[in-house]
Structure formats: structure tokens, C-alpha cells
A and B are shown apart, each in its own frame.
Chain A
Amino acid sequence: MNKIKTFKELEEFRNKIINNRKNNTSTIVVCGGTGCKASRSKDVIDALKKEINQQGISESVHLRTTGCHGFCEQGPLVVIEPKNIFYCHVSPDDAEEIISKTIQNNETIERLLYIDPVTGKTIETETEVPFYKSQDRQILSQNRQVDPCSIDDYIAIGGYNALGKALLDISPQSIVQEVIDSGLRGRGGGGFPTGRKWAECREAPGNEKYVICNADEGDPGAYMDRCVLEGNPHLVLEGMIIGAWAIGANQGYIYVRNEYPLAVENVRIAVKQARDLGLLGENIFGTSFSFDIEIARGGGAFVCGESTALMASLEGRVGEPRPKDVHTVIDGLWHKPTTLNNVETWANIPNIIQKGSSFFASKGSKGSKGTKILALTGCIKNTGLVEVEMGTPIKTVVYDIGGGAPKGKNIKAVQTGGPSGGCIPVDKFDLPLDFDALYDAGSMIGSGGVVVMDENTCMVDVAKYFLNFLQDESCGKCVPCRLGVDRMLEIITEISDGRGKLEHISLLEELGETISYTALCGLGKTAANAVTSTLNYFKEEYEAHIKDKKCPAGVCQELISYSIDPENCTGCGVCLRGCPHEAITGEKKKVHSINLELCQKCGICRSECKFEAIIVN
């Protein structure tokens, strides 16, 4: 393949691609992201391919497998362009009908359309789906337009234009200024102004500099980086190349979680394609600028999301953070000036260069500009990835986009920001989702995880869950985090087991404050947030565990017991077969009973029973 050396050649390349595709009258877009893949979208793709060939229309129909569209709950998703007809829960058996009816005869298939759970109305096109309607998908919308393994697709929609513009028309200083003016802040959680980071790294002494893309997305409940890297890797590469040019780096690294095999694969393909076209390597766009990217797989340590720990890991060492009295922009990877940004931060760069900083800054709230991708999960109807303007109220995301809780349950809180964030109660849902408002409320926007919790979630249990997580993931280097989190977990376990005392609450508060002042890295400093925010907003739940020895949500195992309601039990035997501890006895069609000595209170019987006959006491 010929390398692209000038802007004109990129234009010609693009026109050639578009020209080759002009015979396509329609395109079938199938989501092949991790969510839809788990719902067996690959079988749907194979079936559609077979049908296209059998019905002899492969000349006029293009089948595109893309990354995640965001609406994972409804997968596998199929969108038919140009009319954007939106089909959900598609199975391989539907392929024949989709080709013969929708493609050949322009008919929509009623049963595959999405039904709005709120109004009960059938919806025909993607843009009308309420989940998408209230979003502002600056980054995510591209996912549907490109096959992640095709650089042609990316170039066809204007990809690498921003790079050409940056390299040929704008000086590195002006690029840094543009990013400063845009007000972009780090999307990985810290929220540090990206432009300032770039400027400091650019000015740092030394000829050898590095850029790193942090794709070690360890926050449980967040998967936007996975989705962007899997679905549109060239967008991230383009952002990194522009950044490297602005800073003066010749080598970049993408540090990606090994738990994301598809992301590793797709980004490897993308790097190779970019090299083949001369968009990575020596003398990019015929300039004197050379830059290449290497991919490193993470080892599955949460702490490696912290910049200094990540760099230690890249050097092949144990991922322990170091004090940041000298910043990584001056003394980073191999002691050289290094700019590390999160996937979503890099993905915003091409847009800022292409559309200008003022366009980016026109979106968002006072201190938080642009859009943010959120992972909306937990006890909510529409789960998936949501991209909204910074500053959108929590309630808009939870109720308008998310559709509220399923089965008419009451939403109690949202947990934002992963293990470093906190819980925000329902009466504060007017708060805007941005860096500053959430920080003031005792949580943080973090990388954008929004986990919705309903009345069946125990907040003491949630705090315990996060402490367990942090104890597991603490690297053990500094005492406050290693021992402090241990002690907090010990105390909270006492409370959830019904041995808590009222003075435990003040002890937890004091311990939390001490850890946040004294821990070495961001992981430790924010470790107490889950406890302090739940103590702040849900103190009555802690008190119920301590004073009344009761778990109001019926979750904490030591405080509950199970029994069978003879009124509702039909003797179907599902619980008996389901109990892994053989604690349930009973004859067929007769009321069953639980042997409390054998019962481990795992709750499996309750989740299996269709007649609500298992009661929590």
C-alpha cells in the first residue's frame, strides 16, 4: 500500500473509498461490541452474510460489523441505513426476513422494533429511541459508522483530517493552546486540565519524551474506554499522534487491560494499518515528525490505573505508585517527560482540532467542558453507555435516558466514580454531573461509572463491597492504605454482622479522614469515600444495623434468616433442586421447609422461587 504523504493524497484516498461504495444502496450495521457479542451477535452476522449471498444482492448491500452502540441491554442490535431502521434482540433466524423484507422490499418488521417501556409505543428509527434522543454523542456516534478493523471506514468519515490539519497548518504551541482553550479535563477520573499537562510536558527539558494512553480501565462498573478502544481505535490513535506532535514525543504506549481481549486485538490491527499508510512511523505526512506506538497489556492490577504505577508496570516492574513531588510530565516513564491521558481524553482531541476549541467549550458546565461518556448500569431499565453534555442533571440520566428502575421499584441512590467515588441519594438527583458538583457532594464523576441502586441494595453492604475491593487491590506500599482500609473493613464487617457499636461510626469517620490525608496515591486518598458518603447520606441504615440488629434491605447475611411461606409455596421443588447446600426438604406438591442449621443464607432459593414463597426475616 502506498503511504500517504500529503493532505491531498489523503483527500484522494478518501474519494476513492467513497467512490468504490457508491453502488451500495443500503448498509446493514450489526453491533459486534462486547455486549452484543455476548448476546451472540456473531451468529446474526454469519446468518446475514449467508442470506445476502443466497439472495444475490452482495453487490448493492454492505454489511458492517461495528463496535458498541451503547444500548447493550437490547442486543444484538441491527441498524439498516440509510433509513436508520432500528432492530433489537435480533436472532440468526431473523436474517432471512430482514434481507427479503427490509432490504429488498423496504418493509419494516414490526416484531423486531423497539418498544418504549414508558409509553408502550413502537419505535421505528434509531434517532427516535428515547435512550439515544436525550444524548449528545460526540464520540460514541462514530462507533456506528466504522468497522473498527477498517481504516478505510474511518478515513471515509473524515478520519485523520485533524491530524493533517495539526501537522501541516498549526504549530505545536498553537495546538497546546487550543487544548488549553477548550477546557478539556482528564476523563480518567482526576479531571486535571489536559492542556496544562501538555504545556508543562512540552516545556520540560529533554529531547526524549513519551505519550501514554491509559486504557487500564479498572473501575468496576465503567466500560467506556473499552467501548471506544474496541469500536473506534483510530480515533484514539489520531488523538495520540496529534498530542505527540504538540508535545514533541516520538514514542507512545497504549497500556490496555488484558481482560479486554477484543480491545487489544482491534488496537493492534489499527496500529498496523496506520503504519502501512504512513500515519505512524517515519516522516508522517511528509514532515520531519516521526512517531510510533507500542501496545502493552496490563497485568490486572487496579492500582496500575494510577499514572506512576502504570509507568512502573510499563517498565516491567511491580505496579506501585511513587510520590508525585516531581510530576510525571517532567520525570515520567524511564525518567523522561511523559504525558499520560485516558482513552476518552485522547478521543476528544481530533474533534477539538477539527471543530475548534470554542465548539468544544460551548458544551458543558462552567468548570467542566464538553461531553462525558457514562456507563449507566445497575438497577435500571435501560443500561448501556450514555454520552451527555457535562453538567446534565443526574435525574435526566437516570429517568429520561435510563427509564427508571425496573419492576416499579424505588431508586435509592447512584454510585458514581467507582471505588474512589461515593453514593449520592435520590433527593440530590438535581445535581449536575460534572467534576466540581459531584466532588462537593462527597463523590466524584471519576471515569463515568453510574451504578443505580434500588431499595433492595443495602448501603452498609455497598460500603463493605468497596472496602473489600480496595483491600484486595491496595498495592501495600503505604501504611495508611494497607492497614487503614483493613481496619475499616474489620469495623464495617462487625456492623454488618450485627456486632456493631455506636462509637464505630465516629471511629470510621476519623479513620477515613486520616487515610485521605496520609495515603500515598489517589487510590488510597479516596479509599474512604464509599464509607464517608454512605455515612453522610444513609446514617439511619448504619444505625439500624447497630441498634436494632436489622438490615432494612434484607441483604446482610448475619442479620437475616430465610423461611418458606406455606401460603405461597406450591411444592414445585425448584428451591430444593437449586439449594447447593441441601438445606431444603419437602415432598412434591407439599409445602417445603428450610433446615436452618444447614442454611448458608446465600439467597439462591429466593432468587429462584417464582411464587415469592421464600421470606426474609
Chain B
Amino acid sequence: MSKTSIDSILEGRRSQPNQLIEVLQDIQEKYGYISEENMFTVSKELGMPVIDVYSVASFYKAFSLKPRGKNVITICTGTACHVRGAKLILNQASGQLGISSGEMTDDGQFTVEHVNCIGACALAPVVTENDTCHHHMTPGKLRKLIKSIQKKDTEEVANE
């Protein structure tokens, strides 16, 4: 990840510390996490101490300081999902993949996360896989979903 690659994100925002969150949002969106190198670049370009960049990057949930897996499974644990069994769904994901929420599998294929509410409460429990939303989830449906992603990924590897 070279310095030039976040140039377009920084454009028009240089020397404006108040643009920090927007800049980090864009970096997160583009790379899936905020690397140490990028934090230093941002600090220099926006004209603020790197400790301030770090404190903001580590405070907000939207930012990840570690790389995330190719597939991000996000389980909503809002109240509506909770009373309809979100715990089971989280257990299924972490049991099946052998990782806890917030972790990535060793092969970098999956990251499991939970979010406090994505606002699709009427369809609880809800899981998002990358950007696709799956509603009325059950452990069985999630098991099949994860298996189908695994199958698709191994096929892709075989084709390459």
C-alpha cells in the first residue's frame, strides 16, 4: 500500500484536521482496515499528531486496525435480533469457523463480527455477508451460507 494510493482520498482535504473521520472512512472502505503506514500518512497530510489519528481510529467501531478476511460475516445483535436468537447465530458462526467475534480465520477467508444494530429489526435475526443482507436467519441457514461461500472460494482457487 504505497503513499500515492490514498492520494485521491486526501485530495481537497489536506491540512484540514476536521476531515479526519471522513478520510479514515474512505481508507477503511477501500482497504478494509487502517494500516499503521496510512495513519502516519494521514497525520502528516492533515497536519495533526499521529496520536490523535490513532485515538480516533481506535475509538470508532467503523475502523479496523487489523486486516479483515475476504468474507466478512456480520451478525446483528440489536435488541430485536437478540430476543429472536441472535446469540445462536453468533454461536453457529464462531463454532463453525473456530473463531470468536472480531477475529479472522487463519487462511484469511472469513472474519466474524457483530454489530449493535443495522436497522432491519423487523426481519430479525439478521446477518450481513459482505454487503448482502440475509433475514430471518437460523443456525441452519447460516451453516449453509458459510458452506456455500467456502465451496465457491475453493472452486475459484481451483480455476486459477
Contact = CB atoms under 8 A, between A and B. Distances in A.
A378 interface: yes
Contacts of A180: none
Nearest to B119: A223
Nearest to B52: A317
Nearest to A70: B122
A426 B63 CA distance: 41
A222 B121 contact: yes
A8 B143 CA distance: 60
Nearest to A603: B88
B79 A220 contact: yes
A37 B133 contact: yes
Interface string A300-315: 1110000000000111
A384 B88 contact: no
A9 to B, nearest CB: 33
A154 interface: no
Contacts of B24: 299
Interface string A473-485: 1010000000000
A398 B83 CA distance: 16
Contact of A72 (B77, B82, B123): B123
A259 B118 contact: yes
Interface residues of B, number: 51
B154 interface: no
A608 B140 CA distance: 7
Contact of A604 (B55, B63, B83, B92): B92
A378 B56 contact: no
A453 to B, nearest CB: 6
Given A38-B123, A449-B79, A581-B95, A301 B88 contact: no
Contacts of B78: 220-221
Contact of A578 (B83, B122, B139): B139
Interface in B105-143: 115-124, 126, 131, 133-135, 138-140, 143
Contact of B17 (A218, A259, A299, A316): A316
A110 to B, nearest CB: 25
B61 A301 contact: yes
A602 interface: yes
Chain B binding surface SS class: helix
A465 interface: yes
B83 A378 contact: yes
A4 interface: no
B140 A72 contact: no
Given A260-B119, A300-B60, A221 B91 contact: no
Interface string A200-244: 000000000000000001111111001000000000000000000
B122 A602 contact: no
A534 interface: no
B110 to A, nearest CB: 14
Contacts of B15: none
Contacts of A603: 85, 87-88, 91
A603 B88 CA distance: 7
Interface string A399-438: 0000000000000000100100000000000000000000
A379 B121 CA distance: 11
Contacts of B71: none
A174 B118 CA distance: 39
Contact of B120 (A34, A313, A418): A34
Contacts of A465: 79, 82
A462 B83 CA distance: 8
B159 interface: no
B115 A259 contact: yes
B83 A453 contact: yes
A578 B79 contact: no
Contacts of A217: 119
A161 interface: no
Contacts of A300: 60-62, 115
A376 B124 CA distance: 12
Contacts of B131: 261
A602 B83 contact: no
Nearest to A605: B139
A578 B118 CA distance: 27
B117 to A, nearest CB: 4
B117 A220 contact: yes
B95 A313 contact: no
Interface string B45-81: 0000000100110011111000000000000011111
Given A260-B119, A317-B56, A297 B21 contact: yes
A251 interface: no
A105 B159 CA distance: 50
A72 to B, nearest CB: 3
Contacts of A378: 79-80, 83-84, 124
B133 to A, nearest CB: 4
A451 B83 contact: yes
26 contacts: A38-B120, A38-B134, A218-B117, A220-B80, A221-B80, A258-B62, A259-B117, A260-B119, A299-B61, A299-B62, A316-B19, A317-B56, A377-B121, A378-B83, A383-B123, A415-B79, A418-B79, A451-B83, A452-B83, A466-B79, A475-B59, A580-B143, A581-B95, A603-B88, A603-B91, A604-B91
Interface of A: 34-35, 37-39, 72-73, 75, 217-223, 226, 257-261, 296-302, 313-319, 375-379, 383-385, 415, 418, 449, 451-453, 457, 462, 465-466, 469, 472-473, 475, 574, 578, 580-581, 600, 602-604, 607-608
Given A220-B81, A377-B80, 9 more contacts: A72-B123, A219-B117, A221-B79, A297-B22, A297-B25, A317-B20, A472-B116, A475-B59, A602-B95
Interface of B: 17-22, 24-25, 52, 55-56, 59-63, 77-85, 87-88, 91-92, 94-96, 115-124, 126, 131, 133-135, 138-140, 143
A-B interface, 10 closest residue pairs, ranked by CB to CB distance from nearest:
A580-B95, A299-B60, A220-B78, A72-B122, A223-B119, A300-B61, A377-B80, A220-B117, A221-B79, A602-B91
